[in-house]
């Protein structure tokens, strides 16, 4: 985790910057009953509720979709909170249609970066995520090597960490049914927080009205001249999994004292993304780790769609693609296709617990699945046993298959001849997610990855073939 820099946040949101933020950010719609809302008159004068202090400003109708960060400035001290409104148009990420676009995830503490690795990342990756301290160390080098790189700073969106102030308000924490705070099983020093909290907390000259505003402030403070936003971790429903929390406890909804529903919990998470978007400059990105995989997507995490610029599916293909049923595999593919139609990009990360020859086979299976699913908004990330893709580079990542010759809205549209196929101008991907072998006759001659000419391919269960012309 990055070191908390409250003075930097206070400088970043001085009086002028805070008032400028009133026309710069955008947030997702709030849950009913949570947070004040701006009122717009028929003539275009918008009253922004600054927690009891209305302020009028005239805005053009085309700008009414912009949202405000509520700020009261008194005696040189800022009070930061969020007023929820509609989305504004999102900044653009690189279009990934017809090529392999990679994500470099540097947030792991073990990642060692030398000049060779930095050059590899700059040459091949489109997006880089790193914790604040690491980003300050490598961001300028990466940006100088590739000015088009999108660099975003890692922040934990739902758990406080030891780097946070120790005296946060008690209402900022989510509790279990016994009234105790909830700690992450793998990282017991991290504590689950309540994004609905609004209790004020003053820290280094700034008052934050709730956990969501605090995370937003941390995001702004950790920006560098090279970064353009934040990656908010834990904005999914993992904390509702008993295995995620120490002691197997579950959080209860402070509004009613009952266990959260997956949908309700995800809507709470979105307040952190909303708060962060509201204070970042226009054109910044908000990423979130929250999609998980196709199963939670259908029940809850699809709420991220349209609310963040990109979401990560960190357990895509379940970290063991060989264990998935065809229906589970199809759900993961459909998730990527559906989120793109809803306006959000997706970073799919396949974390493979594999070794030896299985690494190459599962990499080809995962990459072919990505090429089948991608409709221009997907980014790819592959790890095996904790080894990042830039630490063990594969020539597969340099493949250029050209543009897709077929784009479906449903994964079933790619099923032909017993396997899922998608033709590109320079190749073909064929995927067999079933538990039995299949032979596919090809419509023309292709070359497999070894360069051998093939007229048909025989695929083992849960395997794939990437072919070139």
Residue-wise pLDDT for 82-107, tens only, equals 444 333 345 688 899 877 999 999 98
The answer to the question of residue 444 being in a domain is yes
395 and 329 in a common domain: yes
Distances (CA, A) of 178 to 193, 196, 265: 16, 20, 19
Distances (CA, A) of 411 to 332, 415, 433: 10, 8, 12
Whole-number Å distance between alpha carbons of 50 and 206: 15
The domain boundary residue, chosen from 373, 399, 425: 399
Q: Which two tokens stand for residue 58?
A: 């005239």
92 exposed, middle or buried (CB, 10 Å; 0-12, 13-18, 19+)?
Answer: exposed
Specify whether the CB–CB gap between 49 and 27 falls below 8 A: no
Specify whether the CB–CB gap between 291 and 273 falls below 8 A: no
Residue pLDDT, tens place only, 176-210: 999 999 999 999 999 999 999 999 999 988 999 99
Q: Given this model, what pLDDT does residue 49 score?
A: 27
Specify whether the CB–CB gap between 47 and 58 falls below 8 A: no
The answer to the question of residue 230 being in a domain is yes
Rounded to two decimals, what is the model's pTM? 0.82
H-helix or E-strand spanning residue 105: strand 102-105
17 and 108 in a common domain: no
Say what the alpha-carbon torsion angle 247, 249, 254, 257 is, to the nearest 10 degrees.
Answer: -130
Specify whether the CB–CB gap between 350 and 394 falls below 8 A: no
The domain boundary residue, chosen from 399, 425, 440: 399
Q: Given this model, what pLDDT does residue 287 score?
A: 97
| Low-confidence residues of the chain: pLDDT under 70 | 1-91, 108-109
* 70 CA to centre of own chain: 25
448 and 347 in a common domain: no
Q: Given this model, what pLDDT does residue 109 score?
A: 63
Give the domain CATH number at 420.
Answer: 2.60.40.1180
Q: Given this model, what pLDDT does residue 430 score?
A: 98
The answer to the question of residue 42 being in a domain is yes
The answer to the question of residue 78 being in a domain is yes
What is residue 189's three-state secondary structure? Answer: coil
132 and 45 in a common domain: no
Range of the domain at 355: 102-198+213-399
The domain boundary residue, chosen from 82, 113, 132: 82
Q: Given this model, what pLDDT does residue 30 score?
A: 30
Whole-number Å distance between alpha carbons of 463 and 322: 8
264 and 393 in a common domain: yes
- Positive/negative CA dihedral, 244, 222, 286, 411: negative
What is residue 153's three-state secondary structure? Answer: strand
**CA contacts within 13 A on the Cβ side of 438:** 22
Q: Which two tokens stand for residue 312?
A: 């990560």
Q: Given this model, what pLDDT does residue 318 score?
A: 82
Q: Could you give the residue ranges of the DSSP H alpha helices within 236-301?
A: 262-279, 294-299
The answer to the question of residue 408 being in a domain is no
Closest CA to 173 of 184, 270, 292: 184
439 and 355 in a common domain: no
Q: Given this model, what pLDDT does residue 99 score?
A: 79
The answer to the question of residue 407 being in a domain is no
Q: Given this model, what pLDDT does residue 91 score?
A: 66
Whole-number Å distance between alpha carbons of 200 and 384: 43
430 and 303 in a common domain: no
165 and 258 in a common domain: yes
Number of structural domains found in the chain: 3
What is residue 21's three-state secondary structure? Answer: helix
Q: Which two tokens stand for residue 426?
A: 């320079």
The answer to the question of residue 89 being in a domain is no
112 and 67 in a common domain: no
310 and 243 in a common domain: yes
323 and 185 in a common domain: yes
H-helix or E-strand spanning residue 328: helix 326-341
Whole-number Å distance between alpha carbons of 309 and 230: 10
Q: Which residues contact 109 (CB under 8 A, 6 or more apart)?
A: none
Check residue 17 and report its DSSP letter: H
418 and 390 in a common domain: no
The answer to the question of residue 1 being in a domain is no
Neighbour tally for 416: CB within 10 Å: 14
Whole-number CA gyration radius for the chain: 23
One DSSP character per residue, 286-324 reads EEEE---SHHHHHHTGGGGTTTSSEEEETTGGGG-GGG-
């Amino acid at each position: 985790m990055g070191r908390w820099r409250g003075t930097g946040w206070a400088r970043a949101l001085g009086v002028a910057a805070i008032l400028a933020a009133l026309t710069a950010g955008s947030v997702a719609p709030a849950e009913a009953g949570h947070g004040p809302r701006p009122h717009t008159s028929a003539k275009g004068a918008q009253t922004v509720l600054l927690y009891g202090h209305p302020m009028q400003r005239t805005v053009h109708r085309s700008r009414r979709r912009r949202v405000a960060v509520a700020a009261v400035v008194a005696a040189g001290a800022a009070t930061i909170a969020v007023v929820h409104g509609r989305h504004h148009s999102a900044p653009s990420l690189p279009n990934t249609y017809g090529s392999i676009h990679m994500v470099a995830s540097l947030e792991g503490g073990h990642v060692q970066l030398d000049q060779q690795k930095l050059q590899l990342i700059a040459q091949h990756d489109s997006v880089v995520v790193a914790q604040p301290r690491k980003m300050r160390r490598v961001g300028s080098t990466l940006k100088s090597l590739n000015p088009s790189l999108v660099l975003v700073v890692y922040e934990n969106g739902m758990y406080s960490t030891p780097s946070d102030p120790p005296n946060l308000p008690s209402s900022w924490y989510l509790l279990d049914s016994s009234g105790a705070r909830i700690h992450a099983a793998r990282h017991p020093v991290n504590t689950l927080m309540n994004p609905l909290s609004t209790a004020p907390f003053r820290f280094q000259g700034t008052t934050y009205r709730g956990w969501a505003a605090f995370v937003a402030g941390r995001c702004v403070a950790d920006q560098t001249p090279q970064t353009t936003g934040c990656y908010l971790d834990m904005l999914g429903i993992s904390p509702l999994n008993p295995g995620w929390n120490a002691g197997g406890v579950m959080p209860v909804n402070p509004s009613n004292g009952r266990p959260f529903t997956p949908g309700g919990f995800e809507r709470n998470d979105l307040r952190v993304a909303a708060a962060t978007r509201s204070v970042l400059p226009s054109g910044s990105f908000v990423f979130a780790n929250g999609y998980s995989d196709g199963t939670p997507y259908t029940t809850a995490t699809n709420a991220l769609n349209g609310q963040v610029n990109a979401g990560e599916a960190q357990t895509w293909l379940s970290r063991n693609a060989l264990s998935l049923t065809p229906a589970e595999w199809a759900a993961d593919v459909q998730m990527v296709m559906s989120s793109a139609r809803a306006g959000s990009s997706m970073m799919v990360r396949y974390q493979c617990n594999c070794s030896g020859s299985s690494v190459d086979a599962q990499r080809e299976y995962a990459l072919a699945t990505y090429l089948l699913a991608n409709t221009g908004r997907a980014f790819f990330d592959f790890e095996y046993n904790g080894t990042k893709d830039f630490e063990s580079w594969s020539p597969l990542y340099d493949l250029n298959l050209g543009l897709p010759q077929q784009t479906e809205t449903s994964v079933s549209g790619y099923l032909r001849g017993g396997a899922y196929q998608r033709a590109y101008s320079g190749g073909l991907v064929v995927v067999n997610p079933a538990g039995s072998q299949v032979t596919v006759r090809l419509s023309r001659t292709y070359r497999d990855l070894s360069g051998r000419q093939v007229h048909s391919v025989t695929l083992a269960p849960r395997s794939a073939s990437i072919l070139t012309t």
